[in-house]
Structure 1
């Protein structure tokens, strides 16, 4: 939820964010009205309740002959207080819905526009070239006995796969490398739940713009998570956290599930876009004043992984209209996929400022002693789709694949993945 004080004092800032997102600017005026109505209703309720308390005291001190008239007035006030309370509750619900419909206010220099309006911040590494016709990652995966999409489809349907043999070892190696890097950086590892309550899913913003990608468990009031960000954000919901020693940083390892509704035709071959995958997700709770610095820190960790894996990549500043409802800014890190001749997103990191924390009631104690919402940030440090870029980038003419040096200790010293035959 956006800061209600910002909505009241500077609605033009919220309107500018909506325009940058190509979203409905009219939501802002509606939210301002609903917020004002809510405050008026609360004030009226409190006025009547105070008046009721005064009359109640007068009844106790009144002479016997005065009491019947005063009691009648108290009864009338009691009815008015009850009606005012109901109006206040109704106004509160309307205001909460109206303010909650507005996505996070984007940071001032985030690019305006939609999916194609991103800004490339930098390109890093040499785009690989080959003196042979390169194979795509699925063909390589089949040659290596690493990826089995046919049996994945047989058992579970389209966009499911088996990682087998060196494919399974590659994924575990990637995840363990990322975990080691996270531990070095002071992150606390968590194996997170992959089923969460609706209030946690809603609080992180995944029942808003991303609702068509979420699996709902039939017959249960639970959702499958598409990222451990959801469970990591919920970890400290309804709590006051201690940030006096610096940010709280967690690394969540989990299997993730995405329905991918509406994504027909987008990277449907292979393992770049599947319904199930594993991921190591970084998540930080920080003082809002430190959020942008923390965002740069998460991005630097992701870029180090790309460089050490020998991948050519670029970093883009995602346009406002392509952000999820919770993000105030998101950087995508896209690796070069040789057989597609383009960059594809491998990972991203988002600064959600105080938006998720307000919805999930996560606060910290400020220097003044008061409580205030924290800022939350997230970023992926390893996931299944990275295997596609690794296989294609490091392939050889005979179908073998050179293992990046940083992964070799996690594969028993293996330097090259060889075709099965």
Structure 2
């Protein structure tokens, strides 16, 4: 959540951030009112408690009718204090609920607008001209079936739509990508991790995934646990309720985990193949650092994602995501989009977000500095979303006979070419 002091010191900044996200700034007015009511309730409670403590001393010294009157007032005051405490708790809960519902601020550098108002920062590589090569490119599902790598029919039979089996070289390709991504991240200084895929509500809510993204979350009500849609959630909660030494920062983790998403708002979108599915595996990068260092760290995470896509020899572009398309916790987000030949466009395969102090305030993650403790800053970055990366590798590496040439980095795992089944 945002710093509550911003509401008192610079509420117009918060209003402007909501406006740039395409949301109504009226929530700020309601929150400012709730803050005033909360502070008033606290002042009332503390004044009555002070009077109550003072009366206790007077009763001990009083006698006769004076003592009787003071005892009567003490009983009355006890009820008033109890009622004031209830009003204080109610006002505090109302304020905190409204505060937690606010999204993070947005960076001044982020382009304003909706989903289509991104800014292209860089384009790397040149998409292949299949017409010049004399054949029409096949999509990833047709290629996957020819290679014996993807089975959608049995995935739907067993689990329903948007589920799949990776088989044969498909399974081997994912395992190769996992191993390559995890070892590469370790070389960059990330601590490899395999986190739980089920988390408590505090972890999901603390990372901001029970707000605007709640419809995409799978919940197990009997256990009150959530299936994570990204390992960002358990990684962010890893140091919850902790104080980190400033000298230990940055702390960088790279986690492999399955990810589960309802894709509630994607009815009719990308229904063919494995580009948009309910379950996929992913390697995610995550950093704890200071607010001041978070902006440079965001660029470093983007640099590592670019290095990864260069390693996979994929044509891609980098975009600066517009404010109206940001998640609630991010102030700025960069997406890397790989070229998908049969779609004739770039599609997101990875992203990195700077969440500043938004998640750490909710999860109570602090940094011990010379002048006391301050909230940590958190950042996340997808290194390899397996299914989308496989889509990009198959379509960009395909040959006329249905074989697929692999980037050199994957040769030690699978050789240079995936051959169709006989």
| TM-score relative to the length of structure 2 | 0.97
Q: Is the 8 A contact 1:114 1:319 kept in 2?
A: yes
Residue of structure 1 in register with 2:14 after alignment: 14
Q: Is the 8 A contact 2:41 2:87 kept in 1?
A: yes
2:43 is equivalent to residue 30 of structure 1: no
Alignment of 1:16-415 (within 5 A): 16-63=16-63, 66-130=66-130, 131=133, 132-368=135-371, 370-384=372-386, 385-411=388-414, 414-415=415-416
Shifted more, 63-72 versus 24-33: the winner is 63-72
1:158-205 Cα shifts (integer Å, max 9, x gaps): 111111111111111111111112111221111111111112111111
SS of the equivalent of 1:189 reads: strand
Q: Is the 8 A contact 1:152 1:161 kept in 2?
A: yes
1:104-162 Cα shifts (integer Å, max 9, x gaps): 11111211111111111111111122211111111111111111111111111111111
**Cα deviation, residue 242, structure 1:** 2.2
SS of the equivalent of 1:42 reads: helix
Cα distance in structure 2, aligned partners of 1:318 and 1:9 = 28
- Please list every run of 5 or more consecutive structure 2 residues that lacks an aligned counterpart in the other structure: none
Cα distance in structure 1, aligned partners of 2:311 and 2:186 = 17
**Cα deviation, residue 343, structure 1:** 0.3
**Cα deviation, residue 79, structure 1:** 1.4
SS of the equivalent of 2:384 reads: strand
**Cα deviation, residue 69, structure 1:** 1.6
**Cα deviation, residue 64, structure 1:** 5.3
Cα distance in structure 1, aligned partners of 2:43 and 2:287 = 38
**Cα deviation, residue 256, structure 1:** 0.7
- Please list every run of 5 or more consecutive structure 1 residues that lacks an aligned counterpart in the other structure: none
Q: Is the 8 A contact 1:364 1:372 kept in 2?
A: yes
Cα distance in structure 2, aligned partners of 1:408 and 1:67 = 91
Q: Is the 8 A contact 1:175 1:383 kept in 2?
A: no
| TM-score relative to the length of structure 1 | 0.97
**Cα deviation, residue 41, structure 1:** 0.8
**Cα deviation, residue 62, structure 1:** 2.7
**Cα deviation, residue 22, structure 1:** 0.4
1:274-309 Cα shifts (integer Å, max 9, x gaps): 111100111111111111111111111100111111
Cα distance in structure 1, aligned partners of 2:247 and 2:283 = 26
SS of the equivalent of 2:338 reads: strand
**Cα deviation, residue 65, structure 1:** 5.2
Cα distance in structure 2, aligned partners of 1:239 and 1:245 = 13
Cα distance in structure 2, aligned partners of 1:250 and 1:242 = 17
Shifted more, 151-160 versus 59-68: the winner is 59-68
CA-atom RMSD in angstroms:
1.1
